[in-house]
Amino acid sequence: MEPVITSLLDTDLYKYTMWQTMLHRFPQTQAEYSFVCRNPPAYPLAELLPQVNSELDALCALSFREDELAYIGGLRYIKSDFVDFLRIFRFQRNFIEARAEGAHLRIVARGPQVHVMAFEIFVLAIVNELYFRRFDRAAAEAEGRLRLQTKLDQLRALDHEAPLRHPFELFDFGVRRRFSRSWQREVVAAFQDQAPQFFKGTSNVLLARDLGLVPIGTMAHEYLQTYQALGVRLRDFQKAALEDWVQEYRGDLGIALTDVVGMDAFLADFDLYFAKLFDGLRHDSGDPLVWANKALAHYEKLRIDPHTKRLVFSDGLTIDKALALYHALGNRTQLGFGIGTHLTNDVGLTPLNIVMKLTSANGQPVAKLSDSPGKTLCDDQTFLAYLRQVFNVPILAEDS
């Protein structure tokens, strides 16, 4: 059977944008990433270990082809030296280990960050596809097509509503938890063909290239978290990360992620300078309307017209949730909705809630203090407590 991953473009755009920034600024950083499944699977993931190892072998045999490098290099924010780096890049098999611990699958990538940070999305796509191969594919895809049609009908109904000040714009963010590579392509192509007035792009670089879509993405948690271990004063890590992003992209890729230490702590750092330089903000935890109201109030306090900014939502969205947010906010600011699992793995089976997160950099722990209970990530409780103290972040009930 063909490997799950056959192209190194088959990943999220923000892996490349973060990769380039770290290569230019901190290429010596050492990092560790760990795989976690947050919900109980239908069967033990440890059973997938032989296939996972085979897929990792195949992934590490891939390199970038010239046509792929030409596409990446054609993105105006990608620098030529980064393309030269990708030309000689290969994943190193000794930097990633998969093993079974009882019924659990453990996968750890450890080494120079510029060599291991790109494993994440590929690993998640591999585990997902291997897991769902054990289910009835034909039945799942038949159910998925029925649900896909319902989603498209919901979007087409928007055409018959009175328009709001700002348009509804939808993006595919579904690589990491997709049912399969072929299913993601079918879903994205359907949205592109049947709802082009609303569907504006995909985070999947390969699909963006092949289907002529806009590749979407900026930064993820790992980018800001890395700055917790780069020698800047911990209280200043967000400002340091945002400043380096501004210097790297100088106006491109201007959506900032807000929930590494919570929205309140983020806004305390997001002063007039950053608020003018960044195009908008991305929500990924906590109540989305509470978050949006805080963001809009912050812009208004800084005397920035919120209609010139964009709020992007990406936390467990469905079409219903996205439309509800649009109806609540569409007259107040520009909006974008990045939908993942609900687009690419809504086939009648329970999706895996899997992540592969940065756990340490340069031998020091890093953490995310989520605005959603249960999503806080850190293996070192001492550091977590210190981070809470520095940013005055309370403990959420399910994180205690």
Phi, psi of 77 (to 5 degrees): -95, 0
Task: Quick: pLDDT tens for 354-371.
Answer: 999 999 999 999 999 877
What's the mean pLDDT when you consider all of the chain?
A: 96
pLDDT for 382: 93
Element (H, E) at 34: strand 30-37
Q: Is 68 helix (H, G, I), strand (E, B) or coil?
A: helix
- The answer to whether residue 3 scores a pLDDT higher than 50 is yes
Mean pLDDT, residues 145-174 taken together:
97
String of b and e for 107-140 (b: at least 16 CB within 10 Å)? bbbbbebbbbbbbbbbbbbbbbbbbbeeeeeeeb
Tokens (6 digits) for 329: 């906010």
Mean pLDDT, residues 340-361 taken together:
97
Mean pLDDT, residues 372-391 taken together:
84
Phi, psi of 305 (to 5 degrees): -65, 115
pLDDT for 236: 98
Percent of the chain with pLDDT over 70: 98
pLDDT for 64: 98
Which pLDDT band, with edges at 50, 70 and 90, does 374 fall under? Answer: low
Tokens (6 digits) for 190: 């359907």
- The answer to whether residue 400 scores a pLDDT higher than 50 is no
pLDDT for 130: 98
Name the one residue in this structure whose structure tokens are 């592109």. Answer: 192
Q: Which residues pair with 111 in a beta bridge?
A: 31
All residues at 6 or more sequence positions from 244 whose CB lies less than 8 Å from its CB, including other chains: 21, 25, 227
Q: Is 241 exposed, middle or buried (0-12, 13-18, 19+ CB in 10 A)?
A: buried
- The answer to whether residue 398 scores a pLDDT higher than 60 is no
Mean pLDDT, residues 200-224 taken together:
98
Mean pLDDT, residues 225-243 taken together:
97
- The answer to whether residue 163 scores a pLDDT higher than 60 is yes
Mean pLDDT, residues 155-161 taken together:
94
- The answer to whether residue 397 scores a pLDDT higher than 60 is no
pLDDT for 395: 75
Angle between helix axes 80-88 and 66-73 (nearest 10 degrees) is 160
Which pLDDT band, with edges at 50, 70 and 90, does 373 fall under? Answer: low
- The answer to whether residue 379 scores a pLDDT higher than 80 is no
pLDDT for 371: 77
The CA distance from 360 to 378, in Å, is: 9
pLDDT for 1: 85
